[in-house]
Structure 1
Amino acid sequence: MRKLLPILCLFIVVCFLSCTSEDKQVAENIKTYSNTWDEVINNGKLELINNTHFDERITLLMSPENIVGIKNVQDFYANYLTGFSNIEFTIVDIFGQGDKIVKHWNFKGTHTGEFFGISATGKSVDIDGVTLVSMKNGKVSQEQDFMDNMAFMQQLGILSNPDNIRVINTLYDAFAAGDIPAVLDLMDAKVVWHEAEGNAYADGNPYKGPEAVSNGVFARIGKDYDYFNLTNIQLHEMSGNQILATLRYQAKSKKNGTVIDAQVAHHWFLKNGKIIGFQQYVETKQLAEALSK
């Protein structure tokens, strides 16, 4: 037993030194990695993507094709630096083990330049993601990003929010039920509303804000018609968070008993689940006849 004691002590010392050395290397990897990407993204120093900080065969795991090599990685990230202004790149959390690093990050910016061929939209983005990193001899050798690309495209206005259809459906259901407060609640406080040119209610164009829409449009409909129904509603999703609705107005005038059956289109504009704009297209001749004395 006494003979084994020195061997055991030596083993413990070796393990301790090995663990300490490994922990030190992980800490150095994290520090180098974090500082490098902070300078590259926040300060635009693409030149730091070089063979000092990155392996010559640095690989970004992508679909359908990986990006390999320092120059190609530089070109890839140049899209972010030329495509966005007001950039804020934050490493929310980062940890590692051995030659592996996991990074939780956040990217904010305004799309004011060309981004992978997409012309500037002026939209702001705020997106989170995770990156799996492999290090080799203190240099970055491989990265794989995970983020919600659909949410990213929606924030850019390239893809529409899939919830937009539900919002407009809810509005039409509320209107059918006579629940005007519920209709108004779906509108942004700064909604801009346009009635069709030639419609008597266009005298207030553009109506700005839910209260103006309520007083200038909905209150007048209630005063002018015995009933005013929206039928045959079909919704068509468009890019840029827009919805086109095709439908018919079926109504009866209080003034002269004229019955309307008019073809209509509604163009809706949405942002963050709220209606920010509206344009009406309708056969105004029927509406004019219904409101004539």
Structure 2
Amino acid sequence: MTFVQLIDCKTSRFDEMNRLMDTWVEQTKGKRTATHNVIGKDRSDASHFIEIVEFPSYEEAMRNSNLPETDKIFRDMVALCDEMPTFTDLDVVRDEQLYATTARRFFDELAAKGDLPPFNDVLIEDYHDHDPANPQDNIGMDAIRREAEMWRGAFDFSFTIEDQMAQGDRVCTRWTWNGLHKGDFMGIAATGKQVSMTGTTVHRCTADGKIAEGWWQYDRLGLMEQLGALDALEQ
């Protein structure tokens, strides 16, 4: 079970404490068990700081605490605090990866049957789309809707999400796309073929949870081969 520790302290010497933490990170390289660390400053009290440290489990947190470097850093940190810091130990009972959920919703809406959804709930108005298959990036909601209509007019398709990883404001999704070729695509008339391809998309999200930018990499050459577009070139 994921474990989180909150360290609440007050200090007028944060710059010194920050340098102290940098030294500890360097000294414990390869030995630390923490997976995520965030320090926040109270907007109403510039001397009030809360550090949030995430570990894979309570046992891993205890292993981190037992490092000799951790004992020394704690004593040095206390010396820089205006008062004794407090510690809150938390077992994580719910963890929502909201950006990853937004990315998943985007793929679901893109492949949804019926009328094209407005995308307003998942994309910002000036969304920027990077697709190496296009001569120019698609920028803005109207442009991405036209791109989506082109794909939806050519195929009935769905996405299978294989993997997702979120870090900061970025979400990386590895997907498999399956489609039925029902209409014109890049000058290729409908073939009725079932086709598939794999790809990866990286999305950048905004603070309110919407997607601001996307970078695509996918096997378009493999798709064209399945549609028979490469047959003439091989003759």
**How far apart, in 2, do the equivalents of 1:141 and 1:129 lie?**
19
The corresponding residue for 2:44 is none
**Structure 1 residues 75 and 6, CA, compared in 2 at 3 Å: closer, same or farther?**
closer
Taking structure 1 as the reference length, the TM-score comes to 0.46
Relative contact order (C-alpha < 8 Å, sep 6+): which is higher? 2
Aligned residue number for residue 199 of structure 2: 129
> Offset at 1:44?
4.6
The normalised TM-score by structure 2 is 0.57
Query: Distance in 2 between the 1:40 and 1:134 partners?
Result: 17
**Gaps spanning 5+ residues in structure 1: where?**
161-237, 244-293
- Please name the residue that 1:144 is paired with: 215
Matched residue type, 2:211: V
In structure 2, the CA distance between the partners of 1:26 and 1:48, relative to structure 1 (3 Å rule), is farther
- Stretches of structure 2 that go unaligned for 5 or more consecutive residues are 1-7, 12-38, 41-48, 56-89
Question: In structure 1, how many angstroms separate the alpha carbons of the residues matched to 2:218 and 2:129?
Answer: 14
**Separation in 2, partners of 1:73, 1:6:** 47
* Higher Cα radius of gyration: 1
Structure 2: distance between partners of 1:6 and 1:80: 54
Please provide the CA RMSD for this pair.
Answer: 3.1
Tell me what 2:183 maps to: 113
Aligned match of 1:33 in 103, 106, 125? 103
- The answer as to 2:51 corresponding to 1:15 is yes
Summarize the alignment of residues 125-274 of structure 1 with structure 2, pairs less than 5 Å apart: 125-137=195-207, 138-160=209-231, 238-239=232-233, 243=235
The answer to whether structure 1 residue 96 and structure 2 residue 166 are counterparts is yes
For the 8 Å contact 1:79–1:116, the answer to whether it is kept is: no
Which residue is equivalent to 2:128?
59
Bigger proportion of residues as helix: 1
Deviation track 1:185-223 (CA, whole Å, cap 9, x = no partner) reads xxxxxxxxxxxxxxxxxxxxxxxxxxxxxxxxxxxxxxx
Paired letter, 1:35: R
How many pairs are equivalent?
153
Read off the aligned partner of 1:55 and give its amino acid letter: I
Rounded to whole Å, the distance in 1 between the matches of 2:103 and 2:176 is: 16
Query: Take 1:153 and 1:116, find their aligned partners in 2: how far apart are those partners?
Result: 9
CA distance in 2, matches of 1:39, 1:76: 14
How much identity, in percent, do the aligned residues show?
A: 25
Counterparts of 1:68 and 1:25, CA distance in 2:
33
Is the 8 Å Cα contact of residues 111 and 123 (structure 1) preserved in structure 2? Answer: yes
- Shift of residue 122 of structure 1? 2.2
